[in-house]
Amino acid sequence: MVVNPIKVGVIGVGHLGQHHVKHFSCIKEAVLIGLFDIDTARAKKIAEKYNSCAFSSLESLLVQVDALSIVTPTINHAKIAEKCINAGKHIFIEKPITKTLAEADKLLKLAQKQRIIIQVGHIERLNPALQVLKDYQIHPKFVEIQRLSPYKTRGTDIPVVLDLMIHDIDILLSLIKSPVKTIRATGMSILTDSLDIAHARIRFENGTVASIISSRVAKNKVRKLKLFQKDLYTTIDFLLELTEVYRIVDKSEKHPQALETIPFDYKNHHKYIIYDKPIIKETDALKMELENFIRSVQGLERPIVTGIEGRNALDIALQIQEMIIKDID
């Protein structure tokens, strides 16, 4: 089967968009046509760096490409995405998909009508430390997640729930295949006019409970996830790309690869706790997600995070946010 390369452009080449340009310039199945940014000096600089072309308007870039990455501040996603979809172009939108649910729903409807792909940049799904869990039977009953960051000006156009917590909401929804039953949440503004710290407790219909804390008032970055289920406990450090798995197994089971085996006795049952540290392959998650986008446009793969999944994560994030605002009013 002969598959044509995909002509691609990038809208917004700030902190993250420059990396989209870098990766598209070397993804084999993509032809980087150019980029557009309202900051023309920045656009020129990034275009020169990656031997690409800075377009003077979004419209002039749109007519030349099959697909685009939208890497502008979240507040602009909906307006820009709508233009791209109406022009029949496939889009990769950085997270969160949009600022409001109504905007996301409108984009999804338009995309369905135009038969185009919307993919959302929930990059943590590709974190190799999470990906290795595919080798285990994961059915968590309790999940604890922490995502803490030192304050930065970037991202403060949106509350911490949409900036940071939404990554973990997306991970949770991908791990727990059950509808959300109840949400409790609280938080506060510390440094900005919007929420800087948020804590949510989510109960799923299958009984799983998750506790998520997100903050942009921290000395150091922390990105940790702990999963607890019958006879299994996992910790993931997304920054260190380290996953550790502890399982309780029968004494008769052989686990020669386990790093440690410790006796575990309970009510006359004699078992073992085995400790694994699965090997994590070094990968570039952004490059993988953009490759997946290009291959999805070519019809060879499915988007790792679809527009609907981006919308669903936003839905829960907005519910949490509204609950916190009511709680602190």
21 touching ligand NAD, by CB under 6 A: no
Site for ligand NAD in 152-211 (CB under 6 A): 154
Nearest to 182 by CA among 311, 312, 323: 323
Work out whether the CA dihedral 24, 26, 32, 34 comes out positive or negative.
Answer: positive
Token pair in block for residue 275: 């400790």
- Pick one of 11, 65, 85, 317: the residue that binds ligand NAD (CB under 6 A): 11
Token pair in block for residue 313: 């994560």
| CB of residue 305 to ligand NAD, shortest distance in Å | 10
Nearer to ligand NAD, 16 or 217 (CB): 16
- Pick one of 52, 69, 72, 319: the residue that binds ligand NAD (CB under 6 A): 72
Geometric angle at alpha carbon 39, from 37 and 41, rounded to 5°? 110
Nearest to 66 by CA among 16, 29, 108, 17: 29
Span near ligand NAD by CB under 6 A; candidates 32-40, 107-115, 138-146, 172-180: 32-40
302 touching ligand NAD, by CB under 6 A: no
Nearer to ligand NAD, 12 or 187 (CB): 12
Q: How many CB atoms lie within 10 A of CB 291?
A: 18
- Pick one of 33, 47, 68, 71: the residue that binds ligand NAD (CB under 6 A): 71
Annotate each residue in 132-161 with x if it binds ligand NAD (CB under 6 A) or - if it does not, as one string.
----------------------x-------
Span near ligand NAD by CB under 6 A; candidates 33-41, 109-117, 212-220, 312-320: 33-41
Q: How far apart are CA 87 and CA 61, in angstroms?
A: 11
CA 229 to chain centroid:
24
Nearer to ligand NAD, 238 or 272 (CB): 238
CA 156 to chain centroid:
18
Nearest to 88 by CA among 69, 115, 106, 109: 115
Which residues would be at the binding site for ligand NAD (CB under 6 A)? 11-17, 36-39, 42, 71-74, 76, 80, 94-95, 121, 123, 154
